[in-house]
Structures are given as structure tokens and as C-alpha cells.
Structure 1
């Protein structure tokens, strides 16, 4: 599969993502990372991708790869960062609370994860196999992304809680619990070649489960939310005490 032609925004097709890397990375580094991602996609799940093959695909000498990266471990970490930053940028866009109902925001976010993991199982497995650049050795790239998305979601929840005047403490564990549930179920679904459940069915179920958790937690702080109203309207109603 060509990286540039991938529908689900695999690295190399994300202009905003690459722009963020430009101050810190050369065009040659990006070419090497894109080549590595393409080869990971093409090979059998779990197969090794030698540095020499990456160099050939990138159109550079093997020695150039080792001048751009301090070693194979550094290269692998940078590849993982490249991957999870791409998926992270997709999820940030889907978590935009300025548009859509609560149910729509949840569903489109879960669908984005399902699309990425379902369309790119090799990349998901590679990201799960080790840490990203700059991360601790004990935390793999997927777990690092889960933490990042949980923190982003918590910030959104806390901002809404401040607006409507409720204590956000009870809501604090919710984002990580929901993110972990979604990722775990999707990982099992992707790994099961005999599954008879479609992607749409899994997404719909997970969106419902996530809503049940959020709804139950909201009720503990005295808030009743209509999941099919625009979130902006819901927040306004809660602030005015009308919901």
C-alpha cells in the first residue's frame, strides 16, 4: 500500500503533522520514516524490516540512515512516534467539541480509531511493540497515545465542568477508562480473523458503552444530558440549570 494513497491518514499523507516535524527533522529523515512505514505495511505481520531495505526504499545509502538516527532502536522509536502522532492528530480533530452531539463526537472518535487499527494492523502491532521517542522504556507507543488522548479528553471534561459549575473530581477517571475499553475491544476485534462482527457493529456498540459510562458519571454530579443534542446546547442548558 502506498503511504501517500492511504485513506486513513497514515503518516506521509498528513501535511499538518509533517509541518510540526520540520523544525526538528530533515526531509531525509521524513523520507526514511515514510519508507519504513510503507515496508511495515507490505510485509507479513511481525516480520522484520531491515535497515538496508528501508534505505533502499528511501533512496539513500544505509550509512545515511545511521547518520540521521543514532541506531536501530532510535529509528524504531521515531517510527512509533511518527505513527502515534498521526493517529493522535486524527483523534484530536474528532474530539472537536464545537460541532456535533455527544453521541456524534463519541461515535466519530471511536470510528477513527477502528479505521486506523482495522486498516493498518501491522502498524498498530509495531506501535504496541515498544516505546516512542522520548518516552519511558516501560510504556509502549499505544499506551503512550492512550494517556495522551485521556489527558486531552480530561481537559475537555474539566473545561465543561467549570462552565457548568460542577465538581470535575468524580469525572477524572472516566477518560482513561473509556479510552482503555475502546482500545482493548478494538485490539481484540482486529486480532480475531474469525470474527463475524463488522466494523460498523463494533463501533456502534463501543459508542453506546462509552456513552453509558459518561451518562452514569454525569448523573453522579447531578447532570442529565441528552446525547443527541448539540454539545454546545447541552453545555448552555447545564450552565443555565435547564437540563
Structure 2
């Protein structure tokens, strides 16, 4: 029958994809339940996924491949969640920064074992020496640069001189939150550390904006800022 071969392949690929997702989710669940640094046997992952151990090895080349795919899954999942928080269509600069940083703080404090696992290795074979957290920082910084670039484009400005700014902010936020999460008796609550980091991130953004001749009120709705500035109205 015409198309029956391609239809079969599509169903098989969908079946494989579904099983891979089951395995990855099972591994993540076990990571959440297991003390940091403990290597979870593939047999336990297979049992949690409701599959035979041999099925896991058919989906993944070896244990190293499985671990890389788990990290890649975590990076993709978290990056998609944070990308939504970086939406500049609503909220002031303070609100956008605050909700983005709060998302990172919430995930890191609620999933410390996943964060620790991501630090233990890369997401892909061609990322030797680059752990998953570094890959995640790069993904977030790239998304942030896209957001900044779109904002500056509203005023016919180029972000060429600010290439390193997003990564600098993301690295600062992730580094400070890592220390905060690991501190057995942190001196700041989550709202307090988020407020601190929001202020620091704004200082960096404000300095960069002023270097381009832009003075922005961080408490004003960003869409309003753009509308006023494009009309030549002082914000």
C-alpha cells in the first residue's frame, strides 16, 4: 500500500520517542530520591520506567550516553520554562528580571540533586569539558541576548557592544544562587536573595543602556517605555 512504509516508520519512531521519554523521566525521579553522588543502576531506572533493562540499552548506546541524554533533557526542560519568564510583552524590567530570577531560585532550591547531577558532565559528546550547567547558562544567555537585541532594535540600536552582558548577568545569578542553595543556614530568604539579584542585574543593564544613551525607568511597563521612547517622550 502506498505510504504504508513511511506510516510504519513514523509510528515506530513515535513509539521509540515515547519509551525514551519514559526512561528519562524515570531517571529524573530516581535522581530526586537518591543522595547526591550516588550512581543509580540502569536496572532501577528500567524498573521505574516499567521496562526491561535491555530496552534501555536499545534506546541509549551506553550508560554515558544515557547520562548525557538525561542532562540534555533537564537543560531543554528548564530552558523552555525560563524562556517563558523572559517574555518582554508584559511587565516592567524589574518584574521581568524578578520573575526570571525567582524561577531559577525556585528550581535550584527545589531540585538541588538535579542541579548537582547537571554539574557532573556534559549534555553531548562534542561538549567535552563543558558541563550541563554551563550549557544551560549559554542557552539562557543566548535567549537573553535575543530579548535585549529585540528591545534595542526598537530604537535602531545595535547590541554588538553588549555581547558579553547577558552571560555576565546569567553567570552572576547562577553563581550566587548556587552558594545560597548550598548554604545550610542562608542569611537571606528566597524573596530577599531574588530581590538582591534583581537589583544587581538591573544595575548592570542600566549601565549598559546608559552607555547607549538610553535612560529607562525599571518600574514602568516595558511596552510603555518603548512606546514613549519611540515617540521621543522622556520616560
TM-score, normalization: structure 2? Answer: 0.90
* 1:16-54 Cα shifts (integer Å, max 9, x gaps): xxxxxx869521111111110011000111211111111
What's 1:137 paired with?
128
SS in 1 for 2:128: coil
What's 1:160 paired with?
151
| Equivalent residues of 1:51, 1:62 under 8 A apart | yes
SS in 1 for 2:215: coil
Q: Compare CA radii of gyration and give the structure with the larger one.
A: 2
User: Per-residue deviation at 1:217?
Assistant: 0.9
User: Per-residue deviation at 1:134?
Assistant: 5.7
Task: Name the stretch that deviates more: 195-204 or 212-221.
Answer: 195-204
Alignment root-mean-square deviation, CA = 1.5
Q: 1:209/1:24 Cα in 2 relative to 1: closer, same or farther (>3 Å)? A: farther
Q: 1:226/1:91 Cα in 2 relative to 1: closer, same or farther (>3 Å)? A: same
Q: 1:207/1:26 Cα in 2 relative to 1: closer, same or farther (>3 Å)? A: same
What's 2:223 paired with?
232
What's 2:99 paired with?
108
Counterparts of 1:103 and 1:57, CA distance in 2:
42
Paired residue total = 222
Q: 1:219/1:73 Cα in 2 relative to 1: closer, same or farther (>3 Å)? A: same
Q: 1:60/1:175 Cα in 2 relative to 1: closer, same or farther (>3 Å)? A: same
Counterparts of 1:161 and 1:107, CA distance in 2:
21
Match of 1:193 among 158, 162, 184: 184
Q: 1:114/1:98 Cα in 2 relative to 1: closer, same or farther (>3 Å)? A: same
Query: How do residues 24-35 of structure 1 correspond to structure 2 at under 5 angstroms?
Result: 26-35=17-26
Counterparts of 1:125 and 1:101, CA distance in 2:
33
Unaligned runs of 5+ in 2: 1-12
The question of 1:205 aligning with 2:184 is answered no
Query: Which has the larger helix fraction?
Result: 2
What's 1:41 paired with?
32
Match of 2:84 among 78, 90, 93: 93
Unaligned runs of 5+ in 1: 1-21
TM-score, normalization: structure 1? Answer: 0.87
Counterparts of 1:182 and 1:196, CA distance in 2:
17
Counterparts of 1:138 and 1:34, CA distance in 2:
25
Counterparts of 2:213 and 2:108, CA distance in 1:
36
| Equivalent residues of 1:170, 1:217 under 8 A apart | no
